[in-house]
Amino acid sequence: MVLSPLIWQRVWREHLPGRSRAERLGCLNLPEDDRPRLWLHCASVGEVLAARPLIRELRLKYSDHAVVVSTMTATGAERVAALMDDVAEVEAAAPLSHVFLALDFPGAARRFIERLAPRMAIFFETELWPNLLHACARRRVPVAVVNGRLSPRAFHGYRRVSWLMAQSLAHVDWLAAKSEADAERFRELGMPAERISVVGSMKFDIAVDDGSRRMGRELHAAIGHRPVWVAGSTHGGEDELVLQAHRQVRDRFADALLVLVPRHPQRFDEVAELCEASGLATVRRSRGRVPSARAEVYLGDTIGELQALYGTADVAFVGGSLVPVGGHNLLEPAVMGIPVVTGPALDNFLDVAEVLRDAGALVEVADGDELAERLIALLEDKEQCLRLSEAGLAVIETHRGALTATLLGLETIYSPR
């Protein structure tokens, strides 16, 4: 088989030292363990974080199993590693391990499933890989898609290969959709209606670990009494808008600090250079330093600390929304009690945005100039910030429950013998 250079470039980049790239061809090196395996696939960091409550509950509920989480990306793998101590206080909890997902070629997919030999396969959100699903069906592995979503853009893309999607979805035994709109899109692609349940978004079951809360409080105290806003999960073309907005914020608040957290680690150095070129005094989190009173930008160039960094803020902007990316998890700052600001590009989080919007817990801006205006207004109005933070926390508490419904649904397709 001849693999395209583009695919091999992705495999080469998304790699961790000490791990064989042969994993991408299904050649897995799994821990010696006779326990039956449950397999959960998450694409990258965002999905692993969103699936964290599910991973925890699977380890507790199926304590005589082993839980294996696969990811496409190296940063996702690092987040899985960070979760391994999540239930350390429970001696009987199932062990957690990580593998990189095999490329979706027939031989690699077949080898991956044969060596992993899962008792149940769980795909998170929109991770639908035809050859892997077919390999599961050949081995009679029950398959679930949980927190299932299809943005309008993804739906239109899948419709171009609707015949392939119908074949793939035929191998899914149960699908837990985030909303009725998502369920309808899956039905239009060929998913049998009787196998779909609308359970809500598991993102509302978000939890914050004690370590992140503690780190956020410590950083907040170390930064001192100055206006702080976080721009989290930013992308190329967006950082420039954020830095320009920060200059305008500093025109009003001379001691304001921006905590800037790019989405992708491979951009950390690039964004650091951008900050320096903008003339803003920048301190990098990876250097182990806390920003002094002279620092204007604190660059969050570390992995897995976004939640804690949100905890330092008076206001948070969630990136991927001023550029056509589709947004990122609006609930990550909300669960920390931080007012949430977003741009207009929210294709990936329309359901969450709608709920927050209806509850008066979301500030939406059209561009970088409006971002600066709204940030200044919020930093001047502590009562409004308090109303937004309380509304966000109330939304999360009201809409919890998808996790429980998902666990019950999984029982319908898999009963341990």
Which of the residues are catalytic?
47
The residue with tokens 């741009």 is 343
Alpha helices in 279-347 (DSSP H): 306-310, 331-334
- The residue among 68, 63, 56 whose CA lies nearest residue 31 is 68
Phi, psi of 197 (to 5 degrees): -125, 140
User: Taking a C-beta distance cutoff of 8 angstroms, is the pair 414, 119 a contact?
Assistant: yes
CB atoms within 10 A of CB 394: 14
DSSP string, 177-234: ESSHHHHHHHHHTT--GGGEEE---GGGG----HHHHHHHHHHHHHH-SS-EEEEEEE
The b/e string for 303-328 (b: 16+ C-beta within 10 A; e otherwise) is ebbbbbbbbbbbbbbbbbbbbebbbb
Q: Rounded CA gap, 180 and 371, in Å?
A: 32
Q: Rounded CA gap, 190 and 186, in Å?
A: 7
**Cβ neighbourhood burial of 349 (10 Å; 0-12, 13-18, 19+):** buried
Q: Rounded CA gap, 402 and 405, in Å?
A: 5
Q: Rounded CA gap, 224 and 285, in Å?
A: 16
Phi, psi of 139 (to 5 degrees): -95, 5
User: Taking a C-beta distance cutoff of 8 angstroms, is the pair 303, 78 a contact?
Assistant: yes
Q: Is the dihedral of CA 160, 143, 63, 335 positive or negative?
A: positive
Complete edge-to-edge strand list for the sheet that includes strand 196-198: 96-100, 66-71, 37-41, 118-124, 143-148, 174-177, 196-198
